[in-house]
């Protein structure tokens, strides 16, 4: 969607690149990792629908063979799991939620977390693809501001760690 609105090489994309690279550099500084490179243009290309399709073609392990299906649970001793949200606006106090509510409109009536459709999030064994969370809730991003009426993402990660431990991994 973004590349359709602000194509690579356009002035609008150039402005976005400067802003995004600046935010990335600030985050690197604040986290003590100033050595990490920031490249908004490369991120846009690799995270686009076409970029994700190229990656999945090159690395098909765990990728579902059918629309909204499950992929192989294990390939060459590597286990694949996925879980995701299906809500865009989850907490009125979260400053990111309005943006995700807008970006989520791109998916029409399909379940999504504001950035990724639920079907596109599926890889390997699908734990669940409809948690009442958005993309930043799933990683506990916005200062821990998540849906007050949903399971905590920290609990989901803890459950997964216990799942892996139970498998001997």
CA atoms of 123 and 21, how far apart (whole Å): 29
Per DSSP, the three-state class of 80 is coil
Whether the pLDDT of residue 22 is over 80: the answer is yes
Whether the pLDDT of residue 53 is over 80: the answer is yes
CA atoms of 136 and 115, how far apart (whole Å): 9
Burial 123-155 (b: 16+ CB within 10 A, else e): bbbbeebebebbbbbbebebeebbbeebeebee
At residue 107 the predicted structure's pLDDT band, cuts being 50, 70 and 90, is very high
Whether the pLDDT of residue 1 is over 80: the answer is no
Taking the model in full, what pTM does it have? Answer: 0.82
Could you count the other beta carbons within 10 Å of the beta carbon of residue 51?
15
* Opening angle at CA 159, ends 154 and 162, nearest 5: 125
Contact in structure between 116 and 135 (CB atoms under 8 Å):
yes
Q: Residues with Cβ < 8 Å from 152, sequence gap 6 or more? A: 140, 146
Q: Residues with Cβ < 8 Å from 129, sequence gap 6 or more? A: 82, 83, 84, 86, 111, 118, 119, 121, 122
Taking residues 70-86, report their average pLDDT. Answer: 97
Q: What is the model's pLDDT at position 16?
A: 86
């Amino acid at each position: 969607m973004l590349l359709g609105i602000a194509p690579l090489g356009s002035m609008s994309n150039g402005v976005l690149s400067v802003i995004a690279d600046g935010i990335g550099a600030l985050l690197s500084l604040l986290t003590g990792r100033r050595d990490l490179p920031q490249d908004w243009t490369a991120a846009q290309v690799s995270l686009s629908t076409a970029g994700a399709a190229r990656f999945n073609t090159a690395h098909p392990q765990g990728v579902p063979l059918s629309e909204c299906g499950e992929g192989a649970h294990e390939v060459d001793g590597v286990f694949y799991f996925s879980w995701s949200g299906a809500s865009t606006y989850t907490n009125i106090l979260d400053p990111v939620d309005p943006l995700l509510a807008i970006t989520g409109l791109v998916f029409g009536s399909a379940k999504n977390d504001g950035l990724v459709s639920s079907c596109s999030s599926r890889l390997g064994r699908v734990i669940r693809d409809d948690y009442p969370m958005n993309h930043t809730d799933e990683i506990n991003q916005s200062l821990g501001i998540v849906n007050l009426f949903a399971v905590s993402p920290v609990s989901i990660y803890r459950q997964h760690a216990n799942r892996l431990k139970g498998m001997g991994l």
